[in-house]
Amino acid sequence: FVWSPAIGLDLSVDWFDIDMRNQVQDMDVRTILANEANCRLGSADITSPTCVDALARITRSNDGRLYGVRVEPINVARESTSGIDVGLRYRLQTGIGDFIFNGTHTWVKKHDFQRYPGDPIQDQFAVNSNFDIPRTKTSLSVTWERDAWSATVYGSRLGKLPTSDSYDQVFTWDSGDSPYIKATYRYNASLQYRFDDHSRLSLSVVNVFNKMPPKDLTYTAYPYYDVSWFDSVGRTINLQYTHKFGGSAL
């Protein structure tokens, strides 16, 4: 749904409801070994399809030592998700240039997963779910344009994520800790000057405030943070000159 209530203002709202069956997914050794442990230790039903498959993939010696793990793609029984995407774009013309405001927000109502027919349906947002996804993501930017000059400030918010203990399915409420890492924020900025239609000079700063990954005291293995969502590069500054020889404008 898109609505333009005023000149230069566009609002959008989209509801998504996706239901996937038999999608191809690559297995990994860590997941298979974790499934085996859960099945043998009793935290998962050893007669479930996931346990039967995990145990069949692992070969151990007579004294219990790991000998090999068979890994191959599988067809996931079912994965479904639903939620809302909201967007805003507004251009404001002033005497000192044009200002363009952009904003997006995604809220996921549910994200369920079933690896094999007969397995219980897993809520990917649940504590100890062995999944690592945020429920919300938000971004905002403001761009200023005047003649050959333009500048942008961009900010993003990533919703809370599970701690390492929650991801590994070993979190207990008795610990008194939270099963989540708090929401995180990141800011970028850029400045650009166009010499003509085929050449420009750009200065950009990524991670303006030099933010490091959030602390997770339960993440005890190197590099001690969630590499799926964060990095430790820190602030980076880039100066780039671009020239296009012929053809259409940049």
Read off the pLDDT of residues 7-46 as tens digits, 9 standing for 90 and up.
999 999 999 999 999 999 888 898 899 899 989 998 889 9
Report the pLDDT value the prediction gives residue 169, as an integer from 0 to 100.
86
Report the pLDDT value the prediction gives residue 139, as an integer from 0 to 100.
98
How many Å apart are CA 245 and CA 239, to the nearest integer?
20
pTM of the model: 0.84
Report the pLDDT value the prediction gives residue 246, as an integer from 0 to 100.
84
- Assigned token pair, 162: 């599970």
Q: Which residues pair with 90 in a beta bridge?
A: 9, 101
What SS3 string covers 66-123? EEEECCCCEEEEEEEEEEEEEEEEEEEEECCEEEEEEEEEEEEEEEEEECCCCCCCEE
**For 129, what's the count of Cα atoms within 13 Å in the CB-facing half-sphere?**
19
Ranges of the chain whose pLDDT falls below 70: none
Report the pLDDT value the prediction gives residue 158, as an integer from 0 to 100.
98
Are residues 28 and 72 in contact, defined by beta-carbon separation less than 8 angstroms? no
Residue 11: its H or E element: strand 9-25
Domain ranges of the chain: 2-23+77-243, 27-72
- Assigned token pair, 104: 């997006």
Residues contacting 234, CB < 8 A, separation 6+: 207, 210, 212
Report the pLDDT value the prediction gives residue 24, as an integer from 0 to 100.
92
How many Å apart are CA 168 and CA 42, to the nearest integer?
15
- Assigned token pair, 80: 């479904």
Distance of CA 22 to the CA centre of its chain: 23
Tens-place pLDDT, residues 152-175? 999 999 999 999 999 988 999 998
